Amino acid sequence: MNIAPWLVLLASATGVVAGEPVVEAELHTHLTDAFVNPQTATGLPRVLIIGDSISIGYTAPVRLELKGIADVFRPNENCQHSGYVLAKLNAWLGGKKWDVIHFNCGIWDTHFLDAKGNLVRADDQILPPGVRIRHTPEQYRENLIKIVTRLQRTGAKLIWASTTPVMRRKGERFEAIPTLNRVAAEVMQTNGVVVNDLYDYVLPHVKEWQSPDQAHFNDKGNAELGKRVAQSIQQALPQRKN
């Protein structure tokens, strides 16, 4: 049985992570909690993960994979949709030096909203009057261009993660995310940004990796996403001098 190491740690006062013993004091650190960022300056490369709840799920696994290689940070909140990312980006960057920024937004951009801006939960295209999608593909494109332009000013290596599928959606509703992924791919190609294609990576494994809500990921899925994201980040890190 495959059990995520950070869950094993929570079950005992001591445990093993990546072959190394972990004591009780480390059970609720950045290695196990996505919202606890590294606290000690190590001199290692600095990585920032920006993304919604999917990225929250794989943040701790990425830190485990990159332990001793890079310090991995994220905003202590759900980064939601492209408009929200754009509004909060300066605060999240914090004027600090970043070596690699791995970023995504998309699922929230496909949410349906009523006339007052309230979320309308619907997994098909049959909607009451006055309901709209949060961001059209063109609005999404405009937001992504602004996000990329701002991120490029940091001098960091940028990695865009394609948005993972929501399998409970059907027909045109299901296609909303692939449509935005194509828009994002065009923006990233134009701007020379590396794409980490998480959509195609998880699609063959969704029955095994996704949670019952068919959007988020279980422990196995988060661990596999963590490996994939860590690999893409490690490839982008500056070469260490011997």
pLDDT one-digit tens code per residue, 26-62? 555 889 999 999 998 899 999 999 999 999 999 999 9
Q: How far apart, in whole angstroms, are the C-alpha atoms of residue 177 and residue 166?
A: 8
> What is the predicted pLDDT for the residue at 9?
36
Q: What pTM does this model have? A: 0.88
Enumerate domains of the chain plus CATH numbers: 1-33 (no CATH), 42-236 (3.40.50.1110)
Tell how strand 71-73 and strand 46-50 pair up: parallel
Instruction: Using pLDDT thresholds of 50, 70 and 90, give the confidence band for residue 242.
Output: low
> What is the predicted pLDDT for the residue at 128?
74
Tell how strand 20-22 and strand 15-17 pair up: antiparallel
Long-range contacts at 141-145 (CB < 8 A, ≥ 24 apart): 141/183, 141/186, 141/187, 143/82, 143/83, 143/85, 143/86, 144/82, 144/183, 144/184, 144/187, 145/187, 145/191
pLDDT, tens digit, for every residue of 176-187?
999 999 999 999
Assess whether pLDDT exceeds 60 at residue 21.
Answer: no
State how far the alpha carbon of 58 is from the alpha carbons of 33, 165, 181, 238, 241, in Å. Answer: 10, 15, 20, 22, 29
> What is the predicted pLDDT for the residue at 122?
77
**Maximum alpha-carbon separation in the chain:** 63
pLDDT, tens digit, for every residue of 101-147?
999 999 999 999 999 999 998 776 677 788 999 999 999 999 999 99
Sheet with 194-196, strands from edge to edge, namely 71-73, 46-50, 100-103, 157-161, 194-196
Assess whether pLDDT exceeds 80 at residue 189.
Answer: yes
User: Hey, what are 65's tokens?
Assistant: 């994979």
Assess whether pLDDT exceeds 70 at residue 161.
Answer: yes
